[in-house]
């Protein structure tokens, strides 16, 4: 088996080492040595975009906020499903991840979604961005860390706590959709969503097509 090749490493305050590595055709992103994502498994990210943006497909207009850029698969899936009048804002806290997605290593993986004129990238914490934009979005898709059930950084807990979910609800327009990716199911988190005023549906797609582990998607509708 080929060894992993480290392509680049960034030192991020309050986060630590963030590393992009490659083995053959596979890329992985590691935070403090722990694998956060792999380019081999992105089926559930695409399912998140499909379920979260279902109401926008026929409308042709709207605003989508994607929290967490990753390897660009969620953003690409949104762009492939919505019309030319939809605008997509991507909130990514790590500037290195944005740079890698614009560069030759990661840009081809999801067909260069950041080059689409419908997309704007904000290098910011997604919670802060939501707080600054009340009733601004029709859809918010959160794919930050490993979701509410398997955090690699404790600071991200606030995003998935009740205060964070109330923050997301305020950033949505009436009837809007919050989609949350998670490494696994969490009845506690589902109850928290319901307490924040959402009607919740839980999906469990495979990580890669019809294979691989199942992840959990929380598709939550803000009540009108």
Asked whether residue 32 is domain-assigned, the answer is no
Residue 176: both structure tokens together: 């809007």
Asked whether residue 13 is domain-assigned, the answer is no
Among residues of the chain, what percentage have pLDDT more than 90?
Answer: 77
Asked whether residue 59 is domain-assigned, the answer is yes
Which residue in this structure is represented by tokens 């379920």? 51
* Mean pLDDT within 9-31: 93
Antiparallel, parallel or unpaired: β 137-142 and 172-182: parallel
53 touches 78 (CB < 8 A) = yes
Q: How far from 78 is each of 51, 88, 103, CA to CA, in Å?
A: 10, 8, 21
- The mean pLDDT value of the chain amounts to 92
Where is 192: in which H helix or E strand?
helix 187-195
Q: How many domains does the chain have?
A: 1
Q: Which of 10-14, 120-124, 160-164 has the lowest mean pLDDT?
A: 10-14
CA gap 210, 224 in Å, rounded: 35
Per-residue pLDDT for 211 more than 80? no
Q: Which of 30-44, 98-112, 153-167 has the lowest mean pLDDT?
A: 153-167
Asked whether residue 1 is domain-assigned, the answer is no
69 touches 92 (CB < 8 A) = yes
Greatest pairwise CA separation for the chain in angstroms: 54
pLDDT in tens, 56-74: 998 889 999 999 999 999 9
Residue 138: both structure tokens together: 């029709």
What is the CATH number for 91? 3.40.50.150
Asked whether residue 92 is domain-assigned, the answer is yes
Q: Which domain holds residue 183?
A: 41-222
CA gap 134, 153 in Å, rounded: 26
Asked whether residue 166 is domain-assigned, the answer is yes
Per-residue confidence band for 39, with pLDDT thresholds at 50, 70 and 90: very high
């Amino acid at each position: 088996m080929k060894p992993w090749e480290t392509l680049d490493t960034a030192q991020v305050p309050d986060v630590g080492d963030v590393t992009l590595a490659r083995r053959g055709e596979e890329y992985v992103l590691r935070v403090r040595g722990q694998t956060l994502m792999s380019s081999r498994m992105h089926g559930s990210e695409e399912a998140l975009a499909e379920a979260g943006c279902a109401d926008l497909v026929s409308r042709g207009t709207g605003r989508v906020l994607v929290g967490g850029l990753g390897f660009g698969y969620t953003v690409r899936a949104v762009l492939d499903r919505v019309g030319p009048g939809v605008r997509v804002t991507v909130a990514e806290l790590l500037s290195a991840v944005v740079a890698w997605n614009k560069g030759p290593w990661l840009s081809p993986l999801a067909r260069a979604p950041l080059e689409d004129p419908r997309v704007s990238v904000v290098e910011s914490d997604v919670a802060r961005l939501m707080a600054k934009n009340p009733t601004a979005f029709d859809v918010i898709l959160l794919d930050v860390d490993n979701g509410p059930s398997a955090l690699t950084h404790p600071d991200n807990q606030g995003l998935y706590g009740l205060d964070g979910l109330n923050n997301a609800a305020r950033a949505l327009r009436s009837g809007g959709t919050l989609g949350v990716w998670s490494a696994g199911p969490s009845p506690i988190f589902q109850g928290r969503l319901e307490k924040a005023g959402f009607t919740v549906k839980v999906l469990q797609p495979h990580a890669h097509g019809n294979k691989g582990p199942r992840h959990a998607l929380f598709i939550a509708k803000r009540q009108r």
